Structure 1
Amino acid sequence: MPPCPACKDLPPELVCRIADGLDDLKGYVSARGACPTWHHTLVPPSPSLLINHSDDPAKRCTAAAIKPRRSFNLTTIPSVRTCLGCCSGWLSLSVHIDDVRSLLSLFHPITAAEILLPPLVYDSRLVSKIVFSPNPATDDFMAAVICDIDRVAYITVGARRWSVLDPIHLTVGDQFVDLLYHENGRVYCLTWFGDVHVLFLPQRRRREPIILEGETSIYPAVHNRKIIQMHGTGPDLNAPATIKALLSSRGSKLFFDAATSFAPPYNTISTFTSVKNLVFCNGNLYQIWRNASCTVTLQLQEGGRCRIEHDEIFVLRYDPHRRPCWDIVYDLRGYSVFIGRNNSVSIYAEGVPGLKANCVYWIGGRGRDQGMVFDMKTGKSTPCIPLVDGVLPGSLQSTICWYFLSD
């Protein structure tokens, strides 16, 4: 039904009062889409923090929006599922069948649309993060997942199973910790020590999805068994993909070495910052490091010592034309980045109400499970949403990821 012509003539104050009564994110998003006037008047709900309320089954999940500084209910997210990723409003969800099999899907909590992915037959305890192409559809999607310390897998539409790539040669003690989906089917894979590999997925093409025929059983175990049987035979039907080290993908014959990839003292710090993420910002590739363990004083390879505070964050920019190719930076030229289980996002934040420029928005810290913002100028982290209705300190809740809608 088209919007009432008179709605565009309502004063902004009244539009905001109407929106204040919309507690559900779907209703708020629908109101912003009513007409250009409402879209301009109502503050975008992105970025938000998805929060799971384990102590309140009726509420289940909320989206704590940073800009309007309020929370919205999300009642459509299925329970007893684990979120492994997020991109363009879609979540990647997992249901563990047993230790070696997981059912995976892409789910949109606003529209309640769900794309069932073929099962990943691999040790589900080793599956840590999924990234996928933006705005997926049942006949057009691709996804990649970390499925072991040195292995990644991928899936394209129409395939029966995930293709698990051969183990990647990494430094002893190293392992994959983050994935970043970028344009043209490139997935950047980051390791604990700061090594980067690039997965080149096959060219996207629309194909008919393989679906489970017949009525869906009301018994999940029966339904899951049918899915496993359907996808367990025949070729996986994925087109070939390749993976290369970042340096070699740029034509260099050099291999990763922390001593030559990072300038002192970051060649030493790289092995002690256990949380690492990748993000593209204003056309440049960055690594975000965080010391999630405790305050530590390191003995540097070149001599001397370096003290790293608990939850201290380091931002390094990649330059393929210089050595070392990763260099520390102290601002993002007005941008801010959002890292976590979501596919990392960068936003120009200079002068944007509710956001801080040259910051890293992250999740966790000192036993807390909340959204934090690291100011690159001051070198300090603070809660990004000190007081938002529905987000109560000390309650049994867990922060899932940063959530962005395609506006």
Structure 2
Amino acid sequence: MAPEQRWADLPPDLLCRIGDRLDLKWSFELTAIVSGSRCVGSSNGWLALSVVGSIDETVFVLLNPIAAVEIILPPLIYEHEDESRRDWVSKVVFTPCPAKDDFAAAAICDIDRIAYVTAGAKRWAVMDPVRLTSEVGDQLTDVVYTDKGKVYCLSMCGDVHVLRLPKRRRCKPANADEAGPSEPEFSVLQPPPPPPPPAEHTIIVPPPFWQYQEPLGIMPLPPYEYEEVPPQLQGPHLNAPSTVEPLLPLFDPATVFAPPYDTVSAFTSAKNLVFCKGNLYQIWRNTSCTVTLQLPAGGQRCVAENEILVLRYYPRRRRRPCWDAVKDLGGYSLFVGRNNAVSMYAEGVPGLRGNCVYWIGGRGRDQGMVFDMESGRSTPCGAPQAGVLPGGHPYSTICWYFMSDVMSSSSSG
């Protein structure tokens, strides 16, 4: 018997006791990230960050904080009505092991658009608006990336759309020339150098007003009207074409969800997608107070605060509904949040409980929570918040972070 098999056969509690008595050294360090970064995704040891650049523009970066490797993504140019908003991209998903010459990423852009980018492109491709339901407040709320090049998108009403990404191929980065790739001007691994101080005794005098005079009847245009479009933004975006298709040709909550979930769907505003053992699931959570619903067929349904419902997709059913609730996950547990959703088999994993949903939030702040499908209750997950930020604010849980790609979340049917 191999040594590693002998260790695997030991009970988890015994392994923990042995580990406590050994002088084990921490084998890696996390790279410090410049301030002002906002996490918008994570997958397989990588983070997706949204950072405000030096010229007050939003830059998206894929970062491996253990290997200290970063991939600066091309610009995502999208005209939003409110230019002051920095959260118009709510979540980014990407290939499990990205490289500068081989990656793909997709993002929720605003409330009804999906954007994607592949290696070699000079900018993101922003798709046409997704056809949402007529329900008030419906919008895209979650995305999940699969290993077959598909991105599944979920709306708050429970409708699913599928983005079929173009076939991946290794491609030279857009900022590379014939001599090889150039180093990016922007980096989240180290802060930018401070600007040089102004020269002493320098006085800037504007030109006299008469130099701006124009012949009568002609109004001068502002200087920025004459600025040329940068060369890297001219021409096609270089992403191969892609399509977004609805999972179901006709979506109606009254027919696609089994009762009483056709009614409950309107009162569970937090929704996520996850693949587990090749099956697609929706995770619904009631973010408000306890709600008692009067069902159309008679009777009542009480949905408690932070109660979670897990619905499985049955694509081969001849008749609807094709989404129905399940009571257990066969020993698996799900991790949902800003990360690309993950499923793990709990047996033999110390500290992990099976048939649970690990989520982030609760009572107005971000913290790790675990919902037990058997008891129907959510409790805080793990140790309490570790430390306090300047100003007295506690550290918050942002996303679930896994350092390997052995999870089964990326297998789709």
Range of TM-score over shorter length? 0.7 to 0.9
CA distance in 1, matches of 2:268, 2:353: 24
> 5 Å matches for 1:160-239?
160-172=122-134, 173=136, 174-211=138-175, 213=182, 216=185, 218=192, 229=230, 231-239=232-240
Q: Does 1:77 align with 2:17?
A: no
1:231 is displaced (CA, Å) by: 3.7
Describe the shift of the 1:14–1:377 C-alpha distance in structure 2 as closer, same or farther (beyond 3 A).
Answer: closer
RMSD: 2.8
Q: Which amino acid aligns with 1:276?
A: K
Superposed CA deviations along residues 291-346 of structure 1, whole A, max 9, x for unmatched, are 11221222323333322111010000000122210010010001001000000000
Q: What is the CA–CA distance in structure 2 between the aligned matches of 1:117 and 1:191, rounded to whole Å?
A: 26
1:141 is aligned to 2:138: no
Q: How is 1:102-181 mapped onto 2 (pairs within 5 angstroms)?
A: 102-122=58-78, 123=80, 124-172=86-134, 173=136, 174-181=138-145
Counterpart of 2:99 in structure 1: which amino acid?
A
Q: Which has the larger radius of gyration?
A: 2
Q: Residues of 1 paired with 2:278 and 2:159: CA distance?
A: 20
3-state SS in 2 of match to 1:397: coil
Identity over the aligned pairs, expressed in percent?
57
Q: Does 1:348 align with 2:345?
A: yes
Say yes or no: does 1:300 pair with 2:295: yes
Q: For residues 363-393 of structure 1, what are the alpha-carbon distances to aligned partners after superposition, in whole Å with 9 as ceiling and x for unaligned?
A: 11123421111000110111120458x3679
* 1:194-237 deviation digits (Å, cap 9, x = unpaired): 00011000000000001274783845999xxxxx9464222100
Give a deviation string over 1:116-163, Cα, whole Å, max 9, x none. Answer: 001111234321000001010000000000002111000000001100
Q: 1:219 to 1:111 in 2, by over 3 A?
A: same
How many residues get paired?
336
**Could you say which structure has the higher helix fraction?**
1
Q: CA deviation at 1:102?
A: 1.9
Any idea what SS the aligned residue of 1:184 has? coil
For the 8 Å contact 2:150–2:165, the answer to whether it is kept is yes
Cα deviation 1:169-214 (Å, max 9, x = unaligned): 1112311000000121100000000000110000000000012747
Indicate if the aligned counterparts of 1:151 and 1:167 stay in contact, CA closer than 8 A. Answer: yes
- For 2:325, the equivalent position in structure 1 comes to 328
Aligned to 1:53: none
In 1, the alpha carbon distance for the partners of 2:370 and 2:20 equals 31
Distance across 1 between alignment mates of 2:364 and 2:398: 15
Cα 1:372/1:233, change in 2 over 3 Å = same
Corresponding residue of 1:400: 398
Greater Cα shift, 295-304 or 177-186: 295-304
Could you say which residue in structure 1 is the equivalent of 2:364?
367
Name the structure 1 match of 2:308: 313
Secondary structure (helix, strand or coil) at the match of 1:287 reads strand
User: In the superposition, relative to structure 1, how do residues 13 and 351 fare at CA in structure 2: closer, same or farther (>3 Å)?
Assistant: closer
Greater displacement, 94-103 / 288-297: 94-103
CA distance in 1, matches of 2:294, 2:353: 34
Moved over 6 A (4+): none
Residue by residue, what CA displacement relative to the aligned partner does 1:37-59 show, whole Å, maximum 9, x if unpaired? xxxxxxxxxxxxxxxxxxxxxxx
The equivalent residue for 1:17 is 22
**Residues 254-273 of structure 1 correspond to what in structure 2 (within 5 A)?**
254-273=249-268
Asked if the contact 2:72/2:184 (under 8 Å) is kept, the reply is: no
User: Aligned equivalents of 1:328 and 1:397: distance in 2?
Assistant: 34
8 Å contact from structure 2 (residues 158, 265) kept in 1? yes
SS of structure 2 residue aligned to 1:270? helix
Alpha-carbon distance between aligned partners in 2 of 1:221 and 1:303, rounded to the nearest angstrom = 69
Aligned to 2:203: none
TM-score by length of 2: 0.75
Contact 1:76 1:110 in 2 (8 A): no
Residue 26 of structure 1: aligned partner? 28
More strand by share: 1
Structure 2: which 5+ runs fail to align? 1-14, 81-85, 177-181, 187-191, 197-228, 406-413
CA contact (8 A) 1:373 1:381 kept: yes
